[in-house]
Amino acid sequence: MPGASAMRRRPLPGFVGSGLGFLRKQPFAVAGLAIYLTFILLAIFADQIATHDPREILFRGAYRVARYLPPSATHYLGTTAGGRDVFSQLVHGTRSALQVGVTAAFFVVVIGTLLGLLSGYLGGWVDRVIMRISDIILGLPFLPFVLVISALTRPGTTTLVASVALMLWPNTARVIRSQVLSLRERGWVEAARVTGCSTPRIIFVHIAPQVAPLAALYGSIAVGWAILTEASASFLGFGDPNAISWGLMLQDAFANQALSRGVWTWFVPPGLCIVLLVLAGFLVSRGSEKLLFPKLGD
C-alpha cells in the first residue's frame, strides 16, 4: 500500500519548521520576547540592580523618615510615603510578577491541555463532565471569585495563583478540545489506533505534540492575565501583604494620596511595567498566532 507510510507520518509542529524565518518575519513576537528577556534579567539580578533594600525605611538625618523624596541620583524614582526607595521596589517587583505570571500560566496550560485532551479524545461522559464543569466556571465572575477565595483562605501568592489557574483553564481546555476533535480523525491517529496503540500513548505521543503550540499560545496570554489579576487583587488589599509587588506599590501610592500630591514617579512606573509585561505576552501570542495559523495573515 503506497499511501500507508504517508498516512502514518506525523507532520512536524509548525513552529519547528519555520522557526528560523520567525525572527525576521515576526517583529511583534521578537519585541515581546525581548521584553520578557529584559524582565527576566531584571528579576535574576534584582539584588545587584536595586540601589536599596526595597523594604528598608530610609531616614533623612537622624529621625526624619525620608518620605516623598523627589527623584535624585541616589533615589532614581524618589521615595514612597513610608520612606522606601521606589526604584528598588520596582526592580524587586519584577520577581513576584514573573513568579505569579509563570506559575499561574504553567498550571493553566497543564490543567487546560490535559482536560482538553481527555475531553476531546475520550468523548462520552468524560467530555460531558469536563465541559459542564467549565460551563460552571465560566459562570463565575473572575475577579470577585478570586477576592472571595483570597478572603476565605490565607491571602497570599499561592492562593492567588491557584484561583487564577482554577478560573482560566476552561478557555484553554475548550480550544484544545476542538483541536483534538479534528486531529483524532486524521490519518496518522487512525493508523495508530488500528495498529493497536494504547489510548494513553495515542493521546500523549501522537496528539499532545500537535496541540502543544496552541497550548503555549494560551499560556502566554495566561501570563498576562495572572499578572493583571495579582495587581488588581493586591490593589484591593487581597494580595500577600509582605510581598513586594507592583500591585502593592500602586495600592500604597493610591492609599497615600500620591495622586493628589502629583507624585507621578511613584505610581506611573509600576503601571508601565505591568503594561509592558502583559503586552509582551500579547505580542508573542500574536506573532506565534501568525506562525501557527498562516492563513490568518496575508
Residues that bind another protein (CB under 8 A): 135-136, 138-145, 147-149, 151-153, 224, 228, 231-232, 235-238, 247, 250, 253-254, 258-260, 262, 264, 267-268, 270-271, 274-276, 278-279, 281-283, 286
Residue 228 CB, nearest approach to another protein (Å): 6
Residue 148 CB, nearest approach to another protein (Å): 6
Residue 144 CB, nearest approach to another protein (Å): 5
Residue 220 CB, nearest approach to another protein (Å): 12
CA gap 42, 37 in Å, rounded: 9
- Residue closer to another protein (CB basis): 93 or 247: 247
CA gap 192, 184 in Å, rounded: 10
Residue type, 201: R
CA gap 98, 291 in Å, rounded: 25
- Residue closer to another protein (CB basis): 120 or 247: 247
- Residue closer to another protein (CB basis): 7 or 136: 136
- Residue closer to another protein (CB basis): 87 or 267: 267
The residue length of the chain stands at 298
Residue 265 CB, nearest approach to another protein (Å): 12
CA gap 273, 276 in Å, rounded: 5
State the Cα torsion 122-127-128-132 to the nearest 10°. 170
DSSP readout, 233-292? Answer: HHHTT-S-TTS--HHHHHHHHHHTTHHHHT-HHHHHHHHHHHHHHHHHHHHHHHHHHHHH
Residue 129: partners with Cβ closer than 8 Å, 6 or more residues away: none
Residue 257 CB, nearest approach to another protein (Å): 9
- Residue closer to another protein (CB basis): 146 or 211: 146
CA gap 10, 101 in Å, rounded: 33
CA gap 64, 288 in Å, rounded: 53
- Residue closer to another protein (CB basis): 121 or 238: 238
- Residue closer to another protein (CB basis): 106 or 282: 282
CA gap 226, 99 in Å, rounded: 10
Residue 101 CB, nearest approach to another protein (Å): 12
Cell representation of residue 179: 483541536
Angle (CA) 43-35-216 rounded to 5° is: 95
